[in-house]
Structure 1
Amino acid sequence: MSVEQQSPTVREVLRSLDVFAGPLPRFSPQETPDSPQELFIEWLTEAVAAGVREPHAMTLSTAGQDGMPSARVLLLKDVGPAGWSFAAHAASPKGRDLAAAPAAALTFYWPQQARQVRLRGAVATGSPELSAQDFLARPLGSRAEALAGMQSRPLDDPRSVSAATEEALARLGREPDLVVPEWTLYTLDPHGVEFWQGDKQRKHTRLAYLRSAEGWDKQLLWP
C-alpha cells in the first residue's frame, strides 16, 4: 500500500478534530441585559479575561454589485448605542461594496468559550472628523499602508510593496498629521443580534435580540 493510500483523507482528519474542548462558560438567557450592546460587552470582557487572542477580530460580510458575497476579518473599533464600528479605506473592495449597498453582517467567534455573536444591519459612515481621529490613532505602519492605497490591487513585483511603504513612511515623517481622505469610520446599526453559546452535546443556547418600536425584544432560538 502506498503512503498516499495510508494517509487519512481530509474528511477523516476533520472528523477526528475535537470540538468544544475544555470547560465552557455558563450562559443564562433569563439573566441577560435589555440591550445587545450590554451583553456583547460582557462577553467581550470575558473573552479578554480568558486570554482569547484578538477577541476584537470579526468577520465583515458585504455584497458586491454583482450580488456575490465577500467576507474578510477586521478589528472592532468601538461599540455603543449607535452600533458596532470598524474602519476601512473607501476605495477598497469592502468600501466600494458599502458605498453601493450600505448594509453588512458581522460575526465574532471566540473558540475557547464556544461563543459566537452574529449581527446584521445598515451601515452608516462616520464624520470626517471621527474618521480622521481613527486614522491618526492607527500604528504608523498601518497608516503607511493606507496611504499607499493599493489594497487588493494586482501585484506584479513584491518589491513594489517595500518601495511604496518606504515612500509612505517618509511622507508621514514629514507630515505626521496627514490623514488619508478616503479613510472612513463605519458603524453597523443592527436590526438583529444573535448570541450563540455552544454545548458539548449540541444543545446550543441561542438568544436573538430583535429591534422593535420600544427597543429590543429577546427571543430564544432552536439550536
Structure 2
Amino acid sequence: MVSLRGWASFPAELPAFDPDSAPPTPHELFLDWLTEAGEHVLAPHAVTLSTVDADGTPDARVVILKDVGPSGWAIATSSESPKGRQLAKTPHAALTFFWPGRGRQVRLRGPVTPAAPDVSAADFLARPPASRVEAFIGRQSQVLDDPAELTAAAREAERWVDENPGTAPDTWTRYLIAPVEVEFWQASHDRRHLRLRYRGVDDTWVRERLWP
C-alpha cells in the first residue's frame, strides 16, 4: 500500500479570510473568491455536481459553472444525460468547489429548477462549436462498442451544426440551483480551519461560524 502522508495538502502561503467582514449574501462572497481563485488556479469555475439516482444512490461529476447571482448558481446539460434524468426525478443537488492552490472550498445545496426553453437555447448557442457538436452526438454515458461509431456520429453532428448554426437541441437544459445553505471553508495550517455558513431563513441569509 502506498502511503499518502507525505503529500502536501495546501501551499505554504494561504489567503486571508475574515468571516466577520463577509458580505451579507453568499453569491457576493463567492464571486470574490472565484475571482481570486482565477488569478491562481486553472478552471476555477469547474465544480462537482452531486445528485442521486432513482435508487437514492449518490452520483457526482465535474461540470462547468455557467453563471451565479442572487437567484442561484447555474449549470447546463442535456435532460437525457444521467444527471439530467436524475434531476428530473429528484430536483435537488449539491455543488462543491475546491481550489487546493488557495486552500479554499465552497459547498452549497438546494432545489434545482430548469430554465425556460429560450434561456436554455441561448446557453447552448453560446457554447464553442466543438461543445455544440458534442451535445448533438448524444448518447452520453451509454456503452460504446465500437469507436468508429463515435467518429461517424461526430461527423454527422458536425454537419448538422454547420447547416443549422442557430438551432439548439430540445434536450439542452440550463438548471438553476437555488441554495438553502452555502458554506465557505478556508484552510489554516494549524488545522483550525475557518468555516462560514450562510443559511437561508425567511428570505434572508443568516451567517454562522462553524467549528472546524
TM over 0.5: yes
The reply to whether residue 100 of structure 1 matches residue 89 of structure 2 is yes
Aligned length: 212
CA distance in 2: counterparts of 1:40 and 1:118, whole angstroms: 10
Q: Hey, what does 2:28 align to over in structure 1? A: 38
Please tell me the residue identity of whatever aligns with 2:16: R
The reply to whether residue 83 of structure 1 matches residue 72 of structure 2 is yes
The reply to whether residue 125 of structure 1 matches residue 114 of structure 2 is yes
Larger radius of gyration between Structure 1 and Structure 2: 1
Q: Hey, what does 1:185 align to over in structure 2? A: 174
Moved beyond 6 Å, runs of 4+: none
Structure 2 unaligned regions, length at least 5: none
Identity level (%): 50
Q: Hey, what does 1:49 align to over in structure 2? A: 39
CA distance in 2: counterparts of 1:133 and 1:61, whole angstroms: 25
CA-to-partner distance for each residue in 1:14-48, whole Å, 9 max, x for gaps?
11111212210000000000000000000001011
CA RMSD of aligned residues (A): 0.8
Contact 2:11 2:102 in 1 (8 A): no
SS in 1 for 2:122: helix
SS in 1 for 2:188: coil
1:206: Cα distance to partner? 0.3
CA-to-partner distance for each residue in 1:53-85, whole Å, 9 max, x for gaps?
000000000011111000000000000111000
SS in 1 for 2:180: strand
Q: Hey, what does 1:16 align to over in structure 2? A: 6
| Match for residue 152 of structure 2 among 163, 167, 191 | 163
SS in 2 for 1:95: helix
Q: Hey, what does 1:109 align to over in structure 2? A: 98
The reply to whether residue 135 of structure 1 matches residue 124 of structure 2 is yes
CA distance in 2: counterparts of 1:141 and 1:47, whole angstroms: 26
SS in 1 for 2:5: helix
Bigger Cα displacement from structure 2, 162-171 vs 30-39: 162-171
CA distance in 2: counterparts of 1:71 and 1:166, whole angstroms: 30
Please tell me the residue identity of whatever aligns with 1:34: P
Contact 2:9 2:100 in 1 (8 A): no
